């Protein structure tokens, strides 16, 4: 939800158009280039944008036919426009006219622009419209008084620092910010307060830390194909602490003989860190000289929640080992699924499911099965089996499913996949384990140091969940195209 640029324009049939105010957000524009890729169209100059928008809104050359504007395929029933520029079609441009003034902005689209995504999926449109309406409410009472209008437009840039910092709309009530801004200007600036700490907290100090790890896995159960897995972690923090620049130190701990954390990326609020910690990378094999702690992070926290750091780790085993076999016999398919929870993994799940999809086939017409544990359900589309294992594995830590499946005639509504052809198929696991990490990483609450008066309340939690956890049919060729998922 961000804006690349916004404008306040004027159009007078006699005097022509004029740019009264414009604001661009270079950091959002960099994000737009990354998200849009080759479909990115840069923001033109103010004069070029004014000319193109007036043409699009039919405020100039209304009496002549302009193909890019007046063709039958360009009938527009909303205030979202596509403006033709020298670099291409700039979209989406949110613009509307009120009392001789034109309010316009370009929201950020977090993805490719071809084909154009549905308007409902562009979250910045609603935020941009609310901000433009707030600007209109602030400016409109003075539109008949030129001196007052000029004065308000002169204050608009400063007001947008509060209402839309760095292109992110936070407060659409521009009028309410007018007096409060003057108060802020009179306050002495705190030179120690960093830019990312926009507000100060009043109350009892509290620190909330949550370590979230996701494990990706590809298992093939084939001699000539190596199984691969990797864990990715993030440390989420929320610090409610008084002061303009409070100092906090947080340490991550690992069990004895646990693999080290690698590929560490820290938030910009971290004030210092051991360079050796940042140099440890999973691209190199583990050896005795690899940095293995301490993982200590001194920082000045932002006002809102943030991710203190990201990391990876080369854990020795995946949490759940599996084997999937699918073979065709005459008109039926026989499936066998075996899953085993590793003994080092906490046997307490929030949920654990195995999804067994069938692509490029008709609906499941007949199903006979036997499960040693849990419950098997058939999806409404009759193309997916969902094996609910539950919140615990049995004492043996092993579960199995066997069955035979026959299919009806395939229709257009049944799922297809260009990889899963023939007997190439997979089981995908979905699970979440609270109060557990695969690396063993944890935050010792006593190690959190806060240099402020009063005893802080510190809460720490952690969790492990699956992400792209596949077990492929060992009786069919391994799909090479899926291996880059772990890169």
- Residue 158 to residue 23: CA distance in whole angstroms: 11
pLDDT confidence band for 171 (50 / 70 / 90): confident
pLDDT reported for residue 173: 84
- Examine the pLDDT at 180 and tell me if it is beyond 90: no
**Which residues does 346 contact at the CB level (< 8 Å), separation at least 6?**
433, 435, 436
The residue behind tokens 């690698």 is: 262
> Range with the lowest mean pLDDT among 329-338, 417-426, 431-440?
417-426
Secondary structure of residue 150 in the 3-state scheme: helix
Q: What is the dihedral of CA 61, 65, 68, 70, to 10 degrees?
A: 100
Secondary structure of residue 55 in the 3-state scheme: helix
- Residue 392 to residue 196: CA distance in whole angstroms: 43
Domains of the chain: 2-178 (3.30.450.60), 206-317+438-471 (2.60.40.1170), 320-435 (2.60.40.1170)
391 within 8 A of 352, measured Cβ to Cβ: yes
Angle between helices 146-163 and 124-139 (to 10 degrees): 150
Compute the residue count for the chain: 487
Tokens matching residue 29: 């524009």
pLDDT reported for residue 26: 94
Give 52-68 pLDDT, tens digit per residue. Answer: 999 888 887 655 655 55
- Residue 160 to residue 412: CA distance in whole angstroms: 51
DSSP letters for 67-111: HHHHSGGG---SSEEEEEETTEEEEEEEEEEETTEEEEEEE--SS
Give 233-269 pLDDT, tens digit per residue. Answer: 999 999 998 888 889 999 999 998 888 999 999 998 9
- Examine the pLDDT at 181 and tell me if it is beyond 50: no
What sign does the CA torsion over 30, 32, 38, 40 have?
Answer: negative
- Residue 65 to residue 87: CA distance in whole angstroms: 22
- For residue 32, report the phi and psi dihedrals to the nearest 5 degrees: -60, -40
CA 95-101-104 angle, to 5 degrees, is: 25
**Which residues does 484 contact at the CB level (< 8 Å), separation at least 6?**
none
2 within 8 A of 105, measured Cβ to Cβ: no
- Examine the pLDDT at 219 and tell me if it is beyond 90: yes
Tokens matching residue 108: 């950020």
Tokens matching residue 205: 């100090």
The pTM for the full model equals 0.62
Q: How many CA atoms lie within 13 A of 271 on its CB side?
A: 12
């Amino acid at each position: 939800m961000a804006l690349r640029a916004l404008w306040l324009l004027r159009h007078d049939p006699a005097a022509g158009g004029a740019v009264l105010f414009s604001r661009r957000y270079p950091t959002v524009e960099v994000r737009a280039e990354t998200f849009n890729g080759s479909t990115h169209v840069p923001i033109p100059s103010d004069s070029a944008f004014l000319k193109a928008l007036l043409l699009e809104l039919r405020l100039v050359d209304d009496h002549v036919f302009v193909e890019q504007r007046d063709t039958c395929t360009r009938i527009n029933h909303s205030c979202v426009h596509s403006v033709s520029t020298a670099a291409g079609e700039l979209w989406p441009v949110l613009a509307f006219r009120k009392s001789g003034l034109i309010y316009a902005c370009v929201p950020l689209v977090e993805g490719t622009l071809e084909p154009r995504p549905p308007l409902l999926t562009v979250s910045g449109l609603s935020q941009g419209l609310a901000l433009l309406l707030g600007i209109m409410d602030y400016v409109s009472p003075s539109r008949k008084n030129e001196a007052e209008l000029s004065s308000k437009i002169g204050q608009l840039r400063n007001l947008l620092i509060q209402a839309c910092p760095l292109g992110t709309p936070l407060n659409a009530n521009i009028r309410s910010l007018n007096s409060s801004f003057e108060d802020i200007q009179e306050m002495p600036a705190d030179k120690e307060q960093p830019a990312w700490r926009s507000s100060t907290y009043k109350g009892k100090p509290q620190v909330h830390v949550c370590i979230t790890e996701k494990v990706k896995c590809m298992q093939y159960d084939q001699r000539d194909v190596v199984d691969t897995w990797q864990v990715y972690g993030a440390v989420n923090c929320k610090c409610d602490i008084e002061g303009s620049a409070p100092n906090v130190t947080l340490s991550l701990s690992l069990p004895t003989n646990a693999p080290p954390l690698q590929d560490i990326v820290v938030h910009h609020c971290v004030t210092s860190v051991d360079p050796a910690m940042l140099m440890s990378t999973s691209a190199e094999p583990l050896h005795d000289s690899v940095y293995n702690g301490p993982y200590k992070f001194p920082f000045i926290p932002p006002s809102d929640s943030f991710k203190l750091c990201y990391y990876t780790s080369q854990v020795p085993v995946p949490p759940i080992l599996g084997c999937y076999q699918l073979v065709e016999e005459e008109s039926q398919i026989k499936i066998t699924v075996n899953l085993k929870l590793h003994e080092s993994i906490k046997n307490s799940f929030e949920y654990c499911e195995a999804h067994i999809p069938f692509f490029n086939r008709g609906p499941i017409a007949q199903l006979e099965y036997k499960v040693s544990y849990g419950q098997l359900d058939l999806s409404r589309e009759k193309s997916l089996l969902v094996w609910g294992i539950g919140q615990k594995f049995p004492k043996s830590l092993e579960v199995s499913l066997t069955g035979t499946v026959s299919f009806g005639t395939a229709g257009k509504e049944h799922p297809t996949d260009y990889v899963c052809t023939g007997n190439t198929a997979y089981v995908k696991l979905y699970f979440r384990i609270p109060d557990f990490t695969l690396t063993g990483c944890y935050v010792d609450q006593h190690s959190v140091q806060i240099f402020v008066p009063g005893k802080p309340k510190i809460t720490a939690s952690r969790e492990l969940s699956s992400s792209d956890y596949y077990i492929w049919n060992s009786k069919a060729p391994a799909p090479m195209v899926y291996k880059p998922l772990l890169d």
